[in-house]
Amino acid sequence: MNMNRREWMQRGATFALGIGLGERLLASTGKPPLSGEVKSAGSPKFPPKFLWGAATAAHQVEGNNVNSDNWLLERAPNTMYKEPSRDACDHYHLYEQDINQLADLGFNAYRFSIEWARIEPEKGFFSRAELEHYRRMLEACHKRGLTPLVTYSHFTLPRWFAYQGAWENPESADLFARYCERATAQLGDLIAYAATFNEPDIPYLFHWINLPNAPAGMDLAGLMAAQKAGLMQHLNAPQFSSFLIGDAEKSRENMMAAHTKAKSAIKSAKNIPVGLTLAMEDDQPEGPDSRYAEKQADVYVPWLKLAKQDDFIGVQTYTRSRIASKALPPPQGAELTQMGYEFYPESLEHTVRLAAKETAVPVIVTENGVATEDDTRRVEYIRRALAGVKRCIDDGINVRGYIHWSLLDNFEWIFGYTPKFGLIAVDRETQKRTVKPSASTLGKIAKANSL
Ligand code: BGC
């Protein structure tokens, strides 16, 4: 099959963006400990105070995030984005209704991100009004008994920061820490868990994602570089960079420093549990030439090591990847999701076990879900994924919560609004929400705290 470059980019990216953020913690925070490690083998019950939630990310649901680097990328000539985000789900205005809906369904947690590009739209100017907006969101969560988990950076960046080299800029760690400190000073008393970054390992993961029928040696990282070259010409801004199209090596170094500095900055403003979330494919070695260990070392190990110092680790998984001398395609005849991934809910159990073993800190499943138009498959996915989480807990692994991706059908980055990850559907014209059966199923499990 012949594909042009644009088709390539879209096809390749279907394998990318969805892989697409204890007591030890809380002893040092002075906060009341959460539920202890509960061995509940034999009982269908999850531990007391288990977090049951759904997640969103600001850019994917708020709409009109005009000061963001992604707003620019979505509109650039030859953009990889299928369509721009525009009004998204207008969650910026409809958050109260969405939060109430989540609580009505029986959940007890909401994970969302605050948008740096709104809070600091110009370097050094921190908008009190925008911070107040997020304060109202946090208050809405507390009013309805939802524990808020807040991500400070979910991929998108302020435009000014991108023009200064994004994560390639040696000052980026300090700039990010300053933003985190300012945001926490105004919001920290209402935040239960803070994640500095959502999936900072993604740029390295891109090197391990095969593109079917790609020109020799071309991986997703190569496609990102091609996108960047086009963009640079258009912007005429030699320093411009962004999370997904930047120099992965330089960016990782700075993001790791940024995580550590931001953690101190957050804790200096308010002593809350801080961690990060990782994109984790369930890697499975295949054959004698498997590069499994190399992939682990390349993508996850540096972050897992860093997370050992954190208060928790957020695990985010969607599928497995069988690693021979390269990543193999899904097995013949396997059920595929709208993203082209193998339907494989067992990936959650495997990645939770790995993250817990490597970090020895409490695990929160901060994302897990499936893109499908057939909601009965989402129900099946959830049930199987949760059975795996329960097995982990029964084995004594300290898992604190399950946060489903996503609360709403939303803007799935370069794929636009096509993939449907939501527990709740959103009418693209009217913004009317429709609760899907999977939302009720997961809500009932949450209410019962039991499968
Ligand atoms: C990201 C989300 C994305 C989801 C589904 C994760 O990689 O954190 O922003 O929408 O996967 O692809």
Identify each DSSP E strand in 142-291 by its residue range: 147-153, 193-198, 274-279, 282-285
Q: Which numbered atom of ligand 1 lies nearest the CA of 202?
A: 7
Q: What is the pTM of this model?
A: 0.91
Residue 212 confidence (pLDDT): 53
Q: CATH number for the domain including 76?
A: 3.20.20.80
Domain limits at 428?
A: 3-448
Task: Specify burial of residue 129 (Cβ count, 10 A radius: 0-12, 13-18, 19+).
Answer: exposed
Q: Is the pLDDT of residue 419 over 90?
A: yes
Q: Which residues of 144-158 are buried (b: 16+ CB within 10 A; e: fewer)?
A: bebbbbbbbbbbbbb
Average pLDDT across the chain, whole number? 89
CB of 279 closer than 6 A to ligand 1? yes
Q: Which residue has the higher pLDDT, 32 or 262?
A: 262
Q: What is the pLDDT of residues 127-182, one digit of tens each?
A: 999 999 999 999 999 999 999 999 999 999 999 999 999 999 999 999 999 999 99
199 pocket-lining for ligand 1 (C-beta < 6 Å): yes
How distant, in Å, are the alpha carbons of 32, 152, 168, 259, 275 from that of 264?
20, 14, 21, 9, 11
Return the residue whose CA atom lies nearest to atom 2 of ligand 1. Answer: 18
Residue 198 above 70 pLDDT?
A: yes
pLDDT at 291: 97
pLDDT of 280-306, one tens digit each? 999 999 999 999 999 999 999 999 999
Task: Using the predicted structure, report yes or no on whether residue 72 has a pLDDT greater than 70.
Answer: yes
**Cβ neighbourhood burial of 11 (10 Å; 0-12, 13-18, 19+):** middle
Phi and psi of 444, rounded to 5°?
A: -65, -40
State which of 318, 367, 407 you would mutate to test the pocket of ligand 1, scoring each by most atoms of that ligand within 8 A of its C-beta.
Answer: 367
Residue 21 above 50 pLDDT? Answer: no
Cα(168)–Cα(116) distance, integer angstroms: 17
Number of structural domains the chain divides into: 1
Q: Which of ligand 1's atoms lies nearest the C-alpha of 279?
A: 7
Comparing 26 with 352, the larger pLDDT belongs to 352
Residue 330: per-residue pLDDT? 94
| pLDDT grade for 233, boundaries at 50, 70 and 90 | confident
Phi, psi of 170 (to 5 degrees): -60, -20
Q: How far apart are the first and last CA of the chain?
A: 45
Rounded distance between C-alpha atoms, residue 33 and residue 131, angstroms? 28
Q: Which atom of ligand 1 is nearest to the CA of 410?
A: 10
